[in-house]
A and B are shown apart, each in its own frame.
Chain A
């Protein structure tokens, strides 16, 4: 039992002697005497032994190395303190554009040689789900995986291999897809930022979520809807908090942590954000509080829209006119002209236009359409939907316009299935007050220009997949790599819908998937209806789990491969959550713990490919000598970093050495500060019109309603007295890694929150246990303890996501606290937006006091 924690030396004596004297009947007593006696004696003979803490200045201080944090996907800049060959502390890097720290980063000393760390490759020995594994050598693991893969590919083709991932190694995923000849590298986004990304790309022409963000440190009024700033990346909050004139308003069914401080909390009925936002839009338009000038010049608000919803184009009114030249009514010339040539585009025009074919069409500006739409959500109407009173809606709308507020474009937001409309409304709201790319507004990130690891290039009429480090794979070797992914076959606009992979596994729909690599993620805590995920795991021919710690999904793996932590590898990338263009590094600050042999997932994937499909590996630049991990570390990794540095250095015209040196001392290099008012002012945004589109034409093209509207959440609404919404989110100490480290036992709140009014109505008191059953997934039940608190709205229960309800065998044994609470994914049904493919992790439940 390596897990027995010996409290002190005496205990140790006690234990070893106890083993020796096991048979004696009075052993315990007999041995307690020396134990107690020793303690007593120690104290009587006093006492230096008990106060072994050395006085202050003699205490050695750790040496700090600048790197990036990997406790969540945020990659904040931190310095790691190393003492006696162990990481002992983390502190923020001063001056870093995305400085740490948060509770997760502070837990890093626990991560390094944690008992839950995956140390050697393991192979399943029992049934899937039993969680019994056996350590095997790397070679054996890689060989066995490779031969299994070959078998699967020979039966079902390359595309039957899928890779799912989160942030970790995400930049390498495109490379992996060529390596294995499959298109199916499918991320977590359907339960995260997919809805927001769809809305952003349509309204602002950029998917994000980090490529456009509020300019927190310069904002004056920050409106957070569907966003609490509690999740990850404290740098953003830090920037907000360092701005003392900033007013923050959060609209959320539960009070987020920042509202302990000076952030107004508006409790809203879950899933009604679109109605709330539309109501703000309504007030701002009705009261004339919008920035008409901005709307006219930089948005498509004045575009004339025909009755069929399509924009009036030059082609409509003129033979041979362009179908991408949109028409507006110019009040200076009182005529309908292309939007680019109007000097006074009218926002409020409506009338009839004679088309080129002689027919007339009645047209209306996009602005008027928005106004009409919003008028359905007057504060009194919206108040009924959202549960927020009329006066508050009006006040927030006026304050927002008056202060020229910025509404956060959201991030981890797939909660109710209608976030696409909510985010679209939020983006429009920002445009209405003209706060796009303005100082303190919603701003576009300056691109650092980090090249993609692999790109398609055509030369001499042939297409190659070319890596940044110089290798290239010719088209004929692509196999299925460039085909459509399973999820994209089903959801036109998706950036990643893992549920499609599950259907491919379970129903061969649209084709079979038989092998799954799970890299740095845990779908059981990530995707709706976790039972379906488990069912799919059980059906797969090969499941490879690559991670740092033992997570829930590991129970279902055939092979578990230990990855390196961010403390043990080098990586270079753009700083994610800053408006500036910045490169930063994760540095190898320490060797992995002695008894372990973790290897980077990149190495493992290449080595598997080298054994299964050697020609593919070689084509992508792999060499036999990299099988020696130290060669990989000393040659391959530097070659990638060097290639990126070369590209950055030539783009910004700074010497590579300079960047390198700054990276080493400061952990980051600032390439360019944010310059405001660039897009859409000086250069177009990536929308069809090049403008901010409050009436997104891309949505129209995809068959979506361009204007936001409110439709109820994707789950059955609670109706009986014992029925509730169950909403979830993360806290600043939540990440898949952090929630199974020791401190999480005390820092993460795994109770289910209930409003005092509901509690007294149902006779439930703080600490009572309740059974929670999903309304939409009958039979899906969990048990949790209640926290009675005013931090959640009436009629709503709140639970942390990714923190509680862990079920892996190893976690039950070693981190029992993590099994408490709720994993909401077991209760949420799969309901995906038919075009965008994002889901809803909130649900409705029925409760019973136990």
Chain B
């Protein structure tokens, strides 16, 4: 009964999400910059998805699976979390298009020079690989439960492919902006590194939060989650902090890029930047540290939540701020634009968030994601 109720609730959330998206789509307006909130929005989902899979699965390639295989037991959860997070990413980006139905032209008229075309391909591949990994894990586990032993080779190969496409996804995403000469602040070697580390922060935070939530009442798993993702979060955040510093430093020597970065440091976007940096790069690692030392899941959840907010804000700033400065065709003339998130974007993003929640919940309800759960129906369902 409880389950039907949960499923119904999730389906309603899904529908609400869709409706919000559709309503938003009908209200889209032109702004002063081309890529508005939905772009960092979809990046947030995509990078969280890739990051979650990367931090959870990649270590197994080097043979680390947790002291007692705890990490292995989080694999299904992470895979579903990643796959389910990719969907709202699609949702946001499709509704950001004026002609979502035309996305098939990306494949029919595939332009290999275009990062966005590759983005579409990589999204699809990543999603397929994530689902394959998930199915493989579920099926393998239920087979093993039935006593049919399976070699680890398949999982390793799939994980390898997954890791590669996820890294490609994030790096290619950085190059969607990196190749664009129009906005010098995008045009730096730091973009890839920043994107990957941001993605790890988001992934660790996402899994830290989601894992802690679903493992409520399971002390052992929770303790592992707290320590593993806590460490990951601290490491990734520190890496990101350093890389950001590097980005700002190199921008300092590029007068054009510096205009945008300066807007974040002491200009119109400084409040957003500094508060985000403070909560994401100071408070969140401290809370994660506390979580580690006190083995406090609550602390980790708080740290994760802050890091997610920080990640979204950072992406927002990295995407929006450079677009507000255009270096005119007459040297020395700078054209400034302003941007405010529009209703349509809020509606669509909200729709994405609903869909996200609904999908993750549905998966959790229907799929055997917890370590001991096994598929009983149709090979993969509980």
Known contacts A37-B22, A40-B22; decide if A32 and B102 are in contact (CB<8 Å): no
> In the complex, are the beta carbons of A33 and B99 less than 8 A apart?
no
CB interface residues, B 18-37, toward A, < 8 Å: 19, 22-27
Q: How far is the CA of A29 from the CA of B27 in the complex (A)?
A: 11
Q: Which single residue of chain B is at the shortest CB-CB distance from A28?
A: B23
> In the complex, are the beta carbons of B98 and A43 less than 8 A apart?
yes
Known contacts A38-B26, A39-B25, A40-B25; decide if A33 and B19 are in contact (CB<8 Å): yes
| Most chain A beta carbons < 10 A, residue from B19, B26, B101 | B26
CB interface residues, A 46-65, toward B, < 8 Å: 46-47, 50
| Most chain B beta carbons < 10 A, residue from A32, A37, A47, A50 | A32
Contacts A/B (CB < 8 Å), 23 sampled: A10-B26, A29-B23, A32-B23, A32-B26, A33-B19, A33-B22, A33-B23, A35-B26, A36-B23, A36-B27, A37-B22, A37-B26, A38-B26, A39-B25, A39-B26, A40-B22, A40-B26, A43-B98, A43-B100, A43-B101, A44-B101, A45-B101, A47-B102
| Most chain A beta carbons < 10 A, residue from B23, B97, B100, B102 | B23
Add 12 more A-B contacts to A29-B23, A33-B26, A43-B98 (CB < 8 A). Answer: A32-B27, A33-B19, A35-B23, A35-B26, A36-B23, A36-B24, A36-B26, A38-B26, A43-B102, A44-B101, A46-B99, A50-B98
Q: Return the CB mask of B75-115 against A: 1 if under 8 Å, else 0.
A: 00000000000000000000001111110000000000000
Indicate which residue in A35, A37, A38, A43 contacts B99 across the interface (CB closer than 8 Å). A43
Q: Which single residue of chain A is at the shortest CB-CB distance from B100?
A: A43
Indicate which residue in B22, B99, B101, B102 contacts A36 across the interface (CB closer than 8 Å). B22
For B22, the chain A residues whose CB sits under 8 A away are 32-33, 36-37, 40
For B26, the chain A residues whose CB sits under 8 A away are 10, 32-33, 35-40
Q: How far is the CA of A32 from the CA of B101 in the complex (A)?
A: 19
Indicate which residue in A33, A35, A46 contacts B101 across the interface (CB closer than 8 Å). A46
Tell me the smallest distance from the CB of A756 to a CB of chain B, in Å: 14
For B24, the chain A residues whose CB sits under 8 A away are 36
Q: How far is the CA of A308 from the CA of B380 in the complex (A)?
A: 118
Q: How far is the CA of A373 from the CA of B24 in the complex (A)?
A: 76
Q: Which single residue of chain A is at the shortest CB-CB distance from B26?
A: A36
For B102, the chain A residues whose CB sits under 8 A away are 43, 46-47
Tell me the smallest distance from the CB of B100 to a CB of chain A, in Å: 5
Q: Which single residue of chain A is at the shortest CB-CB distance from B21?
A: A36
B contact residues vs A (CB 8 Å cutoff)? 19, 22-27, 97-102
A contact residues vs B (CB 8 Å cutoff)? 10, 29, 32-33, 35-40, 43-47, 50
Q: How far is the CA of A36 from the CA of B101 in the complex (A)?
A: 14
For A10, the chain B residues whose CB sits under 8 A away are 26
Q: Which 5 residue pairs of A and B lie closest in terms of their CB atoms, listed nearest first?
A: A36-B26, A44-B101, A35-B26, A32-B23, A36-B22
> In the complex, are the beta carbons of A47 and B27 less than 8 A apart?
no
Tell me the smallest distance from the CB of A28 to a CB of chain B, in Å: 9
Tell me the smallest distance from the CB of B231 to a CB of chain A, in Å: 44
> In the complex, are the beta carbons of A40 and B100 less than 8 A apart?
yes
Q: How far is the CA of A33 from the CA of B351 in the complex (A)?
A: 13
For B98, the chain A residues whose CB sits under 8 A away are 43, 50
For B27, the chain A residues whose CB sits under 8 A away are 32, 35-36
For A40, the chain B residues whose CB sits under 8 A away are 22, 25-26, 100-101
For B100, the chain A residues whose CB sits under 8 A away are 40, 43-44
Tell me the smallest distance from the CB of B203 to a CB of chain A, in Å: 31
Tell me the smallest distance from the CB of A302 to a CB of chain B, in Å: 54
Tell me the smallest distance from the CB of A781 to a CB of chain B, in Å: 30
Tell me the smallest distance from the CB of A260 to a CB of chain B, in Å: 11
Tell me the smallest distance from the CB of B40 to a CB of chain A, in Å: 22
Tell me the smallest distance from the CB of A41 to a CB of chain B, in Å: 8
Q: How far is the CA of A199 from the CA of B316 in the complex (A)?
A: 66
For A38, the chain B residues whose CB sits under 8 A away are 26
Q: How far is the CA of A822 from the CA of B24 in the complex (A)?
A: 40
Q: How far is the CA of A495 from the CA of B25 in the complex (A)?
A: 63
Q: How far is the CA of A47 from the CA of B22 in the complex (A)?
A: 18
Tell me the smallest distance from the CB of B26 to a CB of chain A, in Å: 2
Q: How far is the CA of A50 from the CA of B97 in the complex (A)?
A: 13
Q: How far is the CA of A40 from the CA of B97 in the complex (A)?
A: 10
Q: How far is the CA of A631 from the CA of B172 in the complex (A)?
A: 75
Q: How far is the CA of A337 from the CA of B151 in the complex (A)?
A: 129
For B101, the chain A residues whose CB sits under 8 A away are 40, 43-47
Tell me the smallest distance from the CB of A267 to a CB of chain B, in Å: 21
For A39, the chain B residues whose CB sits under 8 A away are 25-26
Tell me the smallest distance from the CB of A368 to a CB of chain B, in Å: 52
For A36, the chain B residues whose CB sits under 8 A away are 22-27
Tell me the smallest distance from the CB of B351 to a CB of chain A, in Å: 11
For A50, the chain B residues whose CB sits under 8 A away are 98-99
Q: Which single residue of chain A is at the shortest CB-CB distance from B348?
A: A36
Q: How far is the CA of A39 from the CA of B97 in the complex (A)?
A: 12
Q: How far is the CA of A33 from the CA of B18 in the complex (A)?
A: 10
Tell me the smallest distance from the CB of A11 to a CB of chain B, in Å: 10
| Most chain B beta carbons < 10 A, residue from A36, A38, A43, A46 | A36
Q: How far is the CA of A38 from the CA of B19 in the complex (A)?
A: 12
Q: How far is the CA of A43 from the CA of B19 in the complex (A)?
A: 17
Tell me the smallest distance from the CB of B159 to a CB of chain A, in Å: 35
Tell me the smallest distance from the CB of B147 to a CB of chain A, in Å: 48
For B23, the chain A residues whose CB sits under 8 A away are 29, 32-33, 35-36
For A32, the chain B residues whose CB sits under 8 A away are 22-23, 26-27
Tell me the smallest distance from the CB of A684 to a CB of chain B, in Å: 53
Tell me the smallest distance from the CB of B255 to a CB of chain A, in Å: 21
Q: How far is the CA of A32 from the CA of B97 in the complex (A)?
A: 18
Q: How far is the CA of A396 from the CA of B27 in the complex (A)?
A: 60
For A37, the chain B residues whose CB sits under 8 A away are 22, 26
Tell me the smallest distance from the CB of A30 to a CB of chain B, in Å: 9
For A33, the chain B residues whose CB sits under 8 A away are 19, 22-23, 26
Q: Which single residue of chain A is at the shortest CB-CB distance from B99?
A: A43
For A29, the chain B residues whose CB sits under 8 A away are 23
Q: Which single residue of chain B is at the shortest CB-CB distance from A7?
A: B29
> In the complex, are the beta carbons of B19 and A47 less than 8 A apart?
no
For A43, the chain B residues whose CB sits under 8 A away are 97-102
For A46, the chain B residues whose CB sits under 8 A away are 99, 101-102
Q: How far is the CA of A45 from the CA of B102 in the complex (A)?
A: 9
Q: Which single residue of chain B is at the shortest CB-CB distance from A29?
A: B23
Tell me the smallest distance from the CB of A737 to a CB of chain B, in Å: 29
Q: How far is the CA of A44 from the CA of B101 in the complex (A)?
A: 4
Q: Which single residue of chain A is at the shortest CB-CB distance from B104?
A: A46
Q: Which single residue of chain B is at the shortest CB-CB distance from A41?
A: B101
For B25, the chain A residues whose CB sits under 8 A away are 36, 39-40
Q: Which single residue of chain B is at the shortest CB-CB distance from A10?
A: B26
Q: How far is the CA of A36 from the CA of B29 in the complex (A)?
A: 12
Q: How far is the CA of A36 from the CA of B25 in the complex (A)?
A: 5
Q: How far is the CA of A373 from the CA of B101 in the complex (A)?
A: 81
Q: How far is the CA of A480 from the CA of B204 in the complex (A)?
A: 96
Tell me the smallest distance from the CB of B53 to a CB of chain A, in Å: 30
For B99, the chain A residues whose CB sits under 8 A away are 43, 46-47, 50
For A47, the chain B residues whose CB sits under 8 A away are 99, 101-102
Tell me the smallest distance from the CB of A407 to a CB of chain B, in Å: 32
Q: How far is the CA of A35 from the CA of B26 in the complex (A)?
A: 6
Q: How far is the CA of A501 from the CA of B270 in the complex (A)?
A: 61
Q: How far is the CA of A47 from the CA of B27 in the complex (A)?
A: 19
Q: How far is the CA of A47 from the CA of B100 in the complex (A)?
A: 10
Tell me the smallest distance from the CB of A406 to a CB of chain B, in Å: 32
Q: How far is the CA of A50 from the CA of B101 in the complex (A)?
A: 12
Q: Which single residue of chain B is at the shortest CB-CB distance from A32?
A: B23
For A45, the chain B residues whose CB sits under 8 A away are 101
Q: How far is the CA of A45 from the CA of B100 in the complex (A)?
A: 10
Q: How far is the CA of A33 from the CA of B16 in the complex (A)?
A: 11
Q: How far is the CA of A39 from the CA of B99 in the complex (A)?
A: 9
Q: How far is the CA of A33 from the CA of B100 in the complex (A)?
A: 16
